[in-house]
Amino acid sequence: MKKLTVILIINFIFAHSCKQEIKMTDSNVIITPPKAKKIPKELVIHDDVRIDNYYWLNDRENPDVIDYLTKENDYTKATLKHTEAFQKTLFEEMKARIKEDDTSVPYKLNGYWYITRYEKGLDYPIYLRKKESLDAPEEILFDCNDMAKGHAYFNLGSIAVSLDNKLASFSTDIVGRRQYTIQIKNLETGEIYSDKITNTTSSSTWANDNKTLFYCKKDEVTLRSDKIYKHTLGVNDTQDVLVFHEEDETFNTFVYKTKSRKYIVIGSSSTLTSEYRFLNADTPNDDFKVFQKRQRELEYSIAHYDDRFYVITNSDHATNFKLLKTPETHTEMKYWEEVLPHRKDVLLEDIEIFKDYLVVNERENGLNNLRIISWDGTEDYYLPFDSETYTTYIGNNPDFDSDVLRYSYNSLTSPSSVIEYNFKTKKSEIKKEQEVLGGKFKKKNYESKRVWATARDGVKVPISLVYKKGVKFDGTAPLLQYAYGSYGSTIDPSFSSIRLSLLDRGFIYAIAHIRGGEYLGRDWYENGKLLTKRNTFYDYIDCSKYLISENYTSAKHLYAYGGSAGGLLMGAIINMNPELYNGVLAAVPFVDVVTTMLDDSIPLTTGEYDEWGNPNNEEYYFYMKSYSPYDNVEARNYPNMLVTTGLHDSQVQYWEPAKWVAKLRELKKDNNILLLHTDMDSGHGGASGRFESLKEVAMEYAFLLDLEGIHG
């Protein structure tokens, strides 16, 4: 099944009051927020006129734009200056819980054990391997700490090792705009070849001849991944061969090798439709063959094993997907045979294939399940889990012949564990549990539970809660309510050592599993997009009202948080019910929905039509306009707010939150805080260093805690 992933941001920052002056709490200094100039621009479509006074902010090359963003950053810093010591305390506290000299659980692939290591005081990982035995000498593949030197931002996207284990293709991004450069390293000599391929996605894959590399290029303007190329080692990339061009602007394309190593696969996907092509990895100069021709709203994904492909698909109205199989020589849909049927109440999310067993990742009533099925039909059972606030998922299992399944487990109160389950002995072994250092964390000191709010249309919406024991449910506890609610992306309840800094100071943390995600199955997603998108916002608001009515918190102590599409959620709920929230954290928020969706030159826009609708269609335009946060800002009171963005963000352009804050400053009638922070060195994911990102979180937490009068 095509998984719609969305990068969820943990670094949310803030925006400040408009016309009002703010007096610092520890001095008599008066600071005044910056005011963006107004240059009216008339936007007309469907005989509807919108006036955008801040449209000019969409030019990052304009010195006036950079000047305005810089002034907003200065204002944020000045407004939060009295919290700087507290921010440092929070940073050191969060950092102290993290095991700095940490190592991943090794996994074996093609004769080598691969390991990721972090060293004390360093921000970036070190990738290494050992041949055959864990006692063998280590080979450093990539030390990202060295590679990051001289760069304000650095990300090693992915590594692909050739079948003969001698070469590695790797990708780097030094801007944060997710435009990667692919290079090739000789793992025997350490030489980095002159091959340098720019403007790519992060991934690449080797054919079995150890000299042919397939990769995906992006459109220079829209950043849509639209072309698959074939590169031959040592040949200038200007000579690379275009093997596939995805011309449909609503689709993106990608390339990978099957776990069996037999096939190179090109995938094309949109929100509602997918299509695959495949090629024998031994013969990279042959033509790709279409697996099953695309059909509108037909989604499928493929895995290869033995002489068959296994297909997860929604064909024949299988809303929650089903598992089929087909001979590798006859892959068209008419040859597909059922392995696992569609079930109304069970969402089939993923599979993992081993020589003797099939592992199925399912979701029922919002909860993850791992199902074990033997190929000979003698066994079919589930691994036991006994919580309602846990997350489990299939881990890295690259070896077909293994008798061991590696999976991960954590809950709102239990740190993440990597577990190996032996199919033959039926025993599990915890290979590693996340260490929470500092000596203060005890699982027994925290509680979690799942409750159900009733939405205005009668639908029950689940909420996962975590808090420290002893919190009183009398309406006085501060509560941070998080949600996302788009693209079918499910926000599972997971552990966070960083979050302890809120819980230990009396905060309750809530995840509202609202429509627009797939927590309760595919229908949960279908009823939270396009012309039902308002359900997402209503669900969040109704969850807030439930939490207040049940005395978990009150409007004086309720805080809302969302990022990216979840930032759109924040913008919508404060236009609809601002009185419910004392504060809001909106990270890289997608708030200027109509203008962005009308501009098909902006990265990702055309691929979003099946999620939000195409506003060139009048019905979608007016529905979208009815909830677009930027278009619905009014002269009214708004909560305290912190808004964040990145100058190089390719997912949500920086000017959306910048314009939104400028308009809020112009119209808001309250004296509440409104802060905008722009990371001038990063993109959608924020700072690249693991500890640099903690500094941002510390500022965010200090903002929340300060609003509660908590300063230590």
Active-site hit among 592, 684, 688, 706: 684
Which residues face 589 on adjacent strands? none
Name the stretches of the chain with pLDDT < 50: 1-27
Sign of CA dihedral 10, 16, 17, 23: positive
Tokens of 326: 């087909």
Active-site hit among 564, 682, 688, 693: 564
pLDDT attached to residue 688: 52
Active site residue 684: yes
CA distance 7 to 69: 24
pLDDT attached to residue 690: 72
User: Residues in the chain, how many?
Assistant: 712
Active site residue 282: no
Gap between the terminal Cα atoms of the chain: 47
Q: Domain spans of the chain?
A: 22-96+439-707, 100-149, 362-434
Q: SS3 sequence, 191-235?
A: CEEEEEEEEEEEEEEECCCCCEEEEEEECCCCCCEEEEEEEECCC
Active site residue 649: yes
Over residues 103-143, the pLDDT tens digits come to 999 999 999 999 999 998 888 999 999 999 999 999 999 99
**Which residues does 190 contact at the CB level (< 8 Å), separation at least 6?**
none
Tokens of 707: 């609003």
Q: Annotate 659-694 with b (16+ C-beta within 10 A) or e (fewer).
A: bbbbbbbbebebebbbbbbbbebbbbbbbbbeebbb
Look up the CATH number of domain 22-96+439-707.
3.40.50.1820
Active-site hit among 592, 631, 649, 706: 649
Identify each DSSP E strand in 314-440 by its residue range.
Answer: 322-327, 337-340, 346-353, 357-364, 367-374, 380-382, 390-394, 404-411, 417-422, 428-433
pLDDT attached to residue 21: 43
In terms of Cα–Cα distance, which of 177, 320, 641 is closest to 633? 641
pLDDT attached to residue 19: 36
CA distance 251 to 502: 41
Tokens of 547: 């939490």
Residue by residue, DSSP assigns 242-286 as: EEEE---TT-EEEEEE-TTSSEEEEEEE-SS-EEEEEEETT-TTS
Answer for the pair 640, 672: CB distance below 8 angstroms, yes or no: yes
pLDDT attached to residue 6: 31
* Model pTM score: 0.88
**Which residues does 189 contact at the CB level (< 8 Å), separation at least 6?**
none
Tokens of 333: 């849909």
For 286, how many CA atoms within 13 A lie in the half-sphere containing its CB? 14
In terms of Cα–Cα distance, which of 48, 127, 50, 186 is closest to 618? 48
**Which residues does 405 contact at the CB level (< 8 Å), separation at least 6?**
352, 354, 357, 359, 370, 372, 394, 397, 420, 421, 423
pLDDT attached to residue 7: 28
In terms of Cα–Cα distance, which of 339, 340, 357 is closest to 400? 357
Answer for the pair 665, 638: CB distance below 8 angstroms, yes or no: no
